[in-house]
Structure 1
């Protein structure tokens, strides 16, 4: 049998072949990555792959899939290849100018949505917003809330604004170029959240290539000990948060006690460290711990 006589690839065979290549290349989550790349290359949905697995993949679609797989083998993240990433319950555009949102950060959303009931009106600030992921996820969950995201990157602000528009949240989300909370009045917000850079400078070279080579250094580098952003943020959050307000910041897995102490030094009471689903310290907050206070079903 010649190559021209070989059976045409189908959604199922193309998925399995791509998965095998990625697995051989020691790519994490080869099955999920192969499926996402196949969906993008063919226009198929996850349900299509399950319900119509023998749909023929055209030569053009196969060539596109092969190109995607080759990029993934070079350790380019799927989110960078496709320019989109799912986070919480929303889909976001991502570019080289913003951090690609990660599942770990959803712990921050778990904490944030416990601060206010679904239909309660409140104001939220997302300091260092990047793609707008955290702010927009909160607004998607709390329809009476309004918020502002800040970033020092013009490019990041542009991405966040585009995401807000696509999600039809631009009537409740504003994005400003400023450093952290600079320019905001005292006691302006009911909720303040942030996922600041927290990787120690000397540790960046040892990060996975997907992060080291594709996320902006500005969003990773937390200074010599990884804690500089929290030293800057703690007094600013104490200033702009209302007296009965809630803050929540993402942290590195080994930074909980130090960051907790920085916020306690600003006068915050009942500061706690919240763990993520991998049982690692992930968020410092004066709000509720979702493991102790499960998110109510709205």
Structure 2
């Protein structure tokens, strides 16, 4: 069997299993197990694929057919142009969340100290440190396993510039920060079962469930942020597409100024930001 034939069979298998983006996923899995770039693939596509690579490819395809997320098979996900390690203990970084990083970079001066609540893989705070000027920070998460992933990413991508600490929101936080960011759990409990199988069955529930109305973590974060923000410091949170008005109101009620709801590239409400 050639590389081309293997890819064609992979696409057919995933399409049969009604995997969204079957062609893309089949290619990424082949690239992952063979270490072929797109350019290299076109040079060798009609050559025989070796048995070990074919075995690994079939194994990866079967996992994807069972709705295991692509990123859990490859162990990585690109975010803000940076490659992050991920596993089943952290939320997979999504393009929507890049809006949070982009908005934070706009209001975070060079040399700032930034706090990331519900840090997960660490993708938000690490992106800010890597892409910003002289930024340092801290990431907090309640999950030991998530903190382990974040530390691995931090040690590899921004060594010595971020402290990752296990904690429950504000519980371990000391001192003041120029910017506070968070992508907290915000899906309503009753909506969890309606999510794609890849999400509800394979990503951590603790990173998804925002309790009954989806606003619990926003009340906790916005209600106490002033105690930890430096003068004129900014708070930015990611939100669900229909949570803009409610979270905007929380910011205003807690004394934040220049509060704004920012849309993502798809035109959905995605970030609320304001400063003291």
TM-score (norm 2): 0.95
Alignment match, 2:56: 64
Alignment match, 1:183: 172
SS of equivalent to 2:120: coil
SS of equivalent to 1:124: strand
Write the distance in 2 (CA, Å) between the matches of 1:116 and 1:51: 46
Question: Are the equivalent residues in 1 in contact too, given 2:108–2:179 (CA < 8 A)?
Answer: no
C-alpha distance after superposition, 1:108-166 (max 9, x if no partner):
1111111136xx21111100101101111111101410010001111111110011112
Query: Number of paired residues?
Result: 275
**C-alpha displacement at 1:57, in angstroms?**
1.6
- Whether 2:161 is the aligned partner of 1:172: answer yes
Matches within 5 A, 1:102-251: 102-116=94-108, 120-167=110-157, 169-185=158-174, 188-251=176-239
Write the distance in 1 (CA, Å) between the matches of 2:258 and 2:90: 32
SS of equivalent to 1:271: strand
Aligned mate of 1:28, from 20, 26, 34: 20
Alignment match, 2:5: 13
Task: Tell me: CA distance 1:46–1:180, structure 2 relative to 1, closer, same or farther (3 Å).
Answer: farther
Deviates more, 1:198-207 or 1:51-60: 51-60
- Whether 2:93 is the aligned partner of 1:93: answer no
Question: Are the equivalent residues in 1 in contact too, given 2:139–2:164 (CA < 8 A)?
Answer: yes
Question: Are the equivalent residues in 2 in contact too, given 1:249–1:284 (CA < 8 A)?
Answer: yes
Alignment match, 1:76: 68
Question: Are the equivalent residues in 2 in contact too, given 1:42–1:57 (CA < 8 A)?
Answer: no
Question: Are the equivalent residues in 1 in contact too, given 2:2–2:49 (CA < 8 A)?
Answer: yes
TM-score (norm 1): 0.88
SS of equivalent to 2:217: helix
| Unaligned 5+ runs, structure 2 | none
- Whether 2:54 is the aligned partner of 1:54: answer no
Write the distance in 1 (CA, Å) between the matches of 2:112 and 2:44: 46
Question: Are the equivalent residues in 2 in contact too, given 1:84–1:91 (CA < 8 A)?
Answer: yes
Write the distance in 2 (CA, Å) between the matches of 1:53 and 1:139: 40
**C-alpha displacement at 1:219, in angstroms?**
0.4
C-alpha distance after superposition, 1:163-200 (max 9, x if no partner):
11122x121011111111223345x1111110000011
